[in-house]
Structure 1
């Protein structure tokens, strides 16, 4: 039985790649490589791209750099590809400004992370996201919940109260549990499009109502991830499960240490000169690089 008609919309497609930010040997953004990589990703399984998220090393990018990177990717892939910009901050005023600027620069949506470090209570979180939604009322927003990095969790009931903002349309669930998807669906209904924020949980999250994934692994396995998701929605559960099991070693390898250290190494192994991460992140240790290379080779032979 086909599951292609899903209860929730897919505002940004099924596979959204959270793009790395390429640097040259001096640590300056390599905009030429960024444009080439963006086109490659769209040609290899991605429906949309997220620029300047965690995988894009947004904590070490200036706002000016982020805006220029967004414009570069927008120009590279044209108007038919959905581009989200990471515009979150632990300052509401800063997030409002960044989201407005992203809209003017041609973004199709904004990923807005739960504020980090200052750990606001739920009423503060509601006010934060409401201010952003109202300031950029025509730009679709994806709330991003990743308590393991932010130290703060937005509750499903808080998200439900925000559903009266028409442009809050999606949610990146990265708490590490499928229960988050169920809680959100029960609280918010089917209008909220929930995306897995964890490659390894994509298939389980689809089974409880997620619509797709904001992926890191799609940098190197986009077609396989797309095939897994399509098999699931076509009702081919056994096929999707087999593909999930084939991909799990890669998913684990790409998160063997802090993201995006491994995925940048994976791209280098595939011939992409994306450079090392900016400090305080470091390059992948050689032993882990060798293991990752073997994992990638094994996947390519399946």
Structure 2
């Protein structure tokens, strides 16, 4: 079982102005994030615009990313897809290039939403992979909520060893933690509190624009320096609250670009921020540079 503790950065996919993946920038970003001290990189993450990448593009990201990372931190690949056979293909390819874990959404968009149906989906994937599975609870995007009772069943599968919880319901998050210590927080505004409550780590989109601060926050919490952690959190919070309410991925990518990470470009149908949103984003980032 892989140890996914710490800051697992939900990595952006850099595009050029025409919406083509810029692999040179991608490799540079990997180096920047590894040098910042992140514990893992999630390739093909939601923040990496996974829904708008083809299977071929995702596979190439896994290949290039794993090779560039070269064991310097954990490699987590999102292998979600609507088609079951595609989930399996993506997962097995990610395994073949050295992924330590596979992040997989439940069968979203008119798939089975009952506990038995979701369990059977993950059981089928579990049966054909040998790599850790990170389940993904993000009901605001999928319409599917993983209950604490279902999570307890899922943890009985051989490879289902983690859950990424992006719901933002801290009560449920703590119920998850009662089932296992291998919970990864994915809701930006609860990050510091989830770590204090015992989350093993985070899969964090906002770390794209503040990787050094994210690692520092984790280190402070793990070191029991809660007062210093909360002081740092107050500097991070204005931008976190902004991105959580604004168009998330365009905000994160633009913030990253402004702070020296990536191109800031999104792929259609996503759009760049409006002028008003841009002004608010810039204002929210000022606290990080104090």
TM-score range for the pair, normalised by the shorter chain length: over 0.9
Aligned pair partner of 1:197 in 170, 186, 208: 186
Residue pairs, 1:115-154, within 5 angstroms: 115-120=107-112, 121-136=114-129, 138-154=130-146
Pairing 1:227–2:216 present: yes
Aligned pair partner of 2:233 in 220, 238, 244: 244
Runs (4 or more) in structure 1 with deviation over 3 Å come to: none
Q: Extract unaligned runs of 5+ from structure 1.
A: 1-8
Distance in structure 2 (CA, Å) of the matches to 1:189 and 1:48: 20
Q: Cα deviation per residue 1:49-91 (whole Å; 9 max; x = unaligned)?
A: 0011211111110000000011111122212321111011233
Residue pairs, 1:1-302, within 5 angstroms: 11-120=3-112, 121-136=114-129, 138-186=130-178, 188-190=179-181, 193-301=182-290
Query: Secondary structure at 1:277's aligned position in 2?
Result: coil
Distance in structure 2 (CA, Å) of the matches to 1:273 and 1:180: 34
1:266 CA drift (Å) = 1.2
Choose 267-276 or 156-165, whichever is displaced more. Answer: 267-276
Distance in structure 2 (CA, Å) of the matches to 1:77 and 1:101: 17
1:41 CA drift (Å) = 0.9
**TM-score (normalizing by structure 1):** 0.90
Distance change in 2, residues 1:219/1:275 (3 Å): closer
**TM-score (normalizing by structure 2):** 0.94
Distance in structure 2 (CA, Å) of the matches to 1:205 and 1:272: 26
Q: Cα deviation per residue 1:186-226 (whole Å; 9 max; x = unaligned)?
A: 3x334xx1111012101121232212211112112122222
Mapped contact 1:15–1:214 kept (Cα < 8 A): yes
Q: Cα deviation per residue 1:107-147 (whole Å; 9 max; x = unaligned)?
A: 111101122111511111000111111110x2111111000
Q: Extract unaligned runs of 5+ from structure 2.
A: none
1:28 CA drift (Å) = 0.8
1:273 CA drift (Å) = 4.7
Which residue of the partner structure matches residue 4 of structure 1? none
